[in-house]
Structure 1
Amino acid sequence: MKSVLCHQATLQVVDQPNLTPAKGQVLLEVVRCGICGSDLHMQHHCDHMHDLAARVGFNGLAKSTDPFVLGHEFCGKVLDYGPKTRHKFKADTLVCAMPLLNVDQHGYLSTGLSPNASGGYAEQVLAQSSLMFEVPNGLDADSAAMTEPMAVALHAVRRSRVKTSEPAIVIGCGPVGLGVILMLKAAGVKTVVASDFSPNRRKLAEQCGADIVVDPKETSPFANWKEFGLLGNVSDAINMGMGLFDKLQATRLPWWHGWRMIDKLGALPKRPVIFECVGVPGVLQQIIEGAPLFSRIVGVGVCMQSDKIEPAL
């Protein structure tokens, strides 16, 4: 089979032996495979990625000296099953799989990020049978290959616990940022603001359902905080809080009970959720400085360099 081999930051098309599935594995013919930001990180910052993974206890990532095949955003057709592996789907069934492979003596490895678990930049790839599912409802292969990045976006939105009434602000409209917009609208979030320097990406953000799209060179994504019922600075927060405190004292109710009741009624300032989908040093600090008060920030972009923030803000 032909594969795209990554070695010392260089990509090369090579001929390799066909893959043979082991117990619990399924051999797939690759139909589509996306290019993820992680693939670019592994090509250009392979040793750094390996060291970061090792620091959190995962030693399966490739080093720059290891020839390996990238690609974990794949879908493919079933070709063959390993020994003693249940035939879940017929041959030629279009499937996707979580990019993890159980390899003897190594345990579970990240498909496409390890020299012992070749990825989808090839004519064939191995998938773990237990982590494989059929592409439903006649979905086309191009869309099915987006399953993994869309799962990243869904995870980010779920982690944010955003409410439908809370404004969401997406900084960076690359593939994952666009996925976050789609997932926010699918979750029923009423107001989604998208920000990106690229006019093409801003257009895509509109097509994905963003309600407000801004060019950060001209307009801050936080510019309309008053319109959304947000608090923009500490002075406003103190004045609002003390004014409410005085009114609650007149009711002779404990102020914290009154505060909670007013919050449940939705009368307090809204708490925006901001998704950082850029992964470039300095962006997180810019968000912390510019965001309205009571914002929640969800880090989605993968920053490969050291960064600096001021938590006191």
Structure 2
Amino acid sequence: MRAVVCHRSELTVEELPELTPGRGQVLVRVLRSGICGSDLHVRHHAQLTHDTISEVGYHDFMTPDDRVVLGHEFVGEVVAYGPKTRSRWQAGTRVVSLPVLGTDGGVQMTGLTPKAGGGYAEYVLVSEAMTMEVPDGVSLDHAAMTEPLAVAWHAVRKGHLGRKDTAVVIGCGPIGLAVILLLKASGVKRVIASDPSPGRRNLARRCRADVVIDPARESPWHEFVDDKRYLTDAVSYLRLGLTTMERLRRLPKVPWWRAFQAAEVAGALPKGPVVFECVGVPGIIEQISTQAPMLSRIVIVGVCMEPDTFRPVMAVNKEHEFRFAFGYDPAEFRQVLMWLADGTLDPSPLHTGTVGLDGVAAAFDQLGDPEKHAKILIDPTAE
């Protein structure tokens, strides 16, 4: 089969041996595969990523010297089954799969290890247990984006937003745009998006962000300064606390502390916005912690490949809450697929180009320009 192989940061199209499905596996003919930001990173930072992931227990992640077929976002059609499978779908059935392959040597990360080639190829192996049929009416292009949208849905769920909460998305690359889509799909009424790129700001609008900010011209935090629902510094926090206690003390026959407890249970106490960091460069966490209002919940979605620092004392004084998001679970993956099927999710703004296998190397270069592309899909069947 033809496939794109990554070796020492070079991407080349090669002829590889045919794949044979093993125990519990399904052979799938790839119809579309997405180029992920993680693929762009790992092309040049494979050793750093390998060393980090080895520390958390996975030792088969690719290194620069490995020959790896990338691609963990894909949709395809069933071709054949290996032993110990239920053969759940007929040949030709369109499916998507979580990129986790069960093998005799253990569980492998599809498209990120030489032990489980990915979707930049004519064929890919998947675990039957992790595979789902694509509902009728979902296009190949949309189905191919199930995986990155599941990443965004997991991050949004980490934020624990109510519909009336305000979300701030810093960075409108593919994952930031996906977060905006999932925030709106889940019913969040106010989403502020910030990115220095005019092209990405335009895509953020198409993804239904309510306010789109150019950080070179204005601050995404500006409206919180004059909004009485939000506290911007510790002094205002203490002042509000004293004022609130004085008012509560005046209530007849109600202990002020009990009224304070009731207000907390009812969600009536002040709280900050939920911030999604989708940039992944050194310094961005410190910048957000310094500028964001008090009591903000900050979800780190961007993958920073380098060591970084921030001032804990700033976060402590503002009582910021940090949460880090990685991956998704099967239920989140399926939820996204159902939303694609019923029209709740329309990822069309993300899709800015399609190439064949021979165009993958050039597509990687083009994705470095934020004004040109967001998400490029690969069609291995194209000439």
- TM-score when scaled to structure 1? 0.96
> Which 10-residue stretch deviates more, 154-163 or 246-255?
246-255
Deviation for aligned residue 1:281: 0.6
Deviation for aligned residue 1:265: 4.8
Is the 1:167–1:228 Cα contact (8 Å) retained in structure 2? no
Aligned to 2:19: 19
Aligned to 1:276: 277
Aligned to 1:42: 42
Aligned to 2:262: 261
Q: How does 1:1-313 map to 2 (within 5 A)?
A: 1-105=1-105, 107-225=106-224, 226-227=226-227, 229-251=229-251, 253-265=254-266, 267-313=268-314
Q: Give the Cα–Cα distance (whole angstroms) in 1 for the partners of residues 12 and 185 of structure 2.
A: 40
Deviation for aligned residue 1:238: 1.2
> Which 10-residue stretch deviates more, 178-187 or 150-159?
178-187
DSSP 3-state at the match of 2:188: coil
Supply the RMSD in Å over aligned alpha carbons: 1.3
Is the 1:277–1:300 Cα contact (8 Å) retained in structure 2? yes
When residues 49 and 228 of structure 1 are mapped into structure 2, their CA distance, relative to the original with a 3 A threshold, is farther
Is the 2:28–2:125 Cα contact (8 Å) retained in structure 1? yes
Q: Give the Cα–Cα distance (whole angstroms) in 2 for the partners of residues 260 and 218 of structure 1.
A: 41
Aligned residues: 312
- TM-score when scaled to structure 2? 0.79
Q: Give the Cα–Cα distance (whole angstroms) in 2 for the partners of residues 170 and 306 of structure 1.
A: 22
Q: Give the Cα–Cα distance (whole angstroms) in 1 for the partners of residues 17 and 89 of structure 2.
A: 25
The percent identity for this pair of structures is: 49
Q: Give the Cα–Cα distance (whole angstroms) in 2 for the partners of residues 98 and 269 of structure 1.
A: 39
Deviation for aligned residue 1:255: 3.5
DSSP 3-state at the match of 1:45: helix
Deviation for aligned residue 1:92: 1.0
Deviation for aligned residue 1:246: 1.2
DSSP 3-state at the match of 2:313: coil
Residues 246-296 of structure 1: CA deviation (Å, up to 9, x unaligned)? 111223644332223234555433431000001011111000000001100
Q: Give the Cα–Cα distance (whole angstroms) in 2 for the partners of residues 249 and 129 of structure 1.
A: 63
Q: Give the Cα–Cα distance (whole angstroms) in 1 for the partners of residues 270 and 187 of structure 2.
A: 20
Q: Give the Cα–Cα distance (whole angstroms) in 2 for the partners of residues 151 and 212 of structure 1.
A: 24
When residues 256 and 90 of structure 1 are mapped into structure 2, their CA distance, relative to the original with a 3 A threshold, is farther
Q: Give the Cα–Cα distance (whole angstroms) in 1 for the partners of residues 17 and 54 of structure 2.
A: 30
Q: Give the Cα–Cα distance (whole angstroms) in 1 for the partners of residues 82 and 40 of structure 2.
A: 31
> Which 10-residue stretch deviates more, 111-120 or 36-45?
36-45
Residues 53-76 of structure 1: CA deviation (Å, up to 9, x unaligned)? 101111120111111110000111
**Structure 1: gaps of 5 or more residues:** none
Residues 166-186 of structure 1: CA deviation (Å, up to 9, x unaligned)? 111000111111111111112
> Which 10-residue stretch deviates more, 15-24 or 232-241?
232-241
Q: Give the Cα–Cα distance (whole angstroms) in 2 for the partners of residues 260 and 211 of structure 1.
A: 34
Is the 1:195–1:202 Cα contact (8 Å) retained in structure 2? yes
Residues 7-40 of structure 1: CA deviation (Å, up to 9, x unaligned)? 1111111001110001110001111111111111
Residues 181-228 of structure 1: CA deviation (Å, up to 9, x unaligned)? 111112211111000111111111111111111001111111100337
Q: Give the Cα–Cα distance (whole angstroms) in 1 for the partners of residues 94 and 208 of structure 2.
A: 29
Is the 2:271–2:294 Cα contact (8 Å) retained in structure 1? no
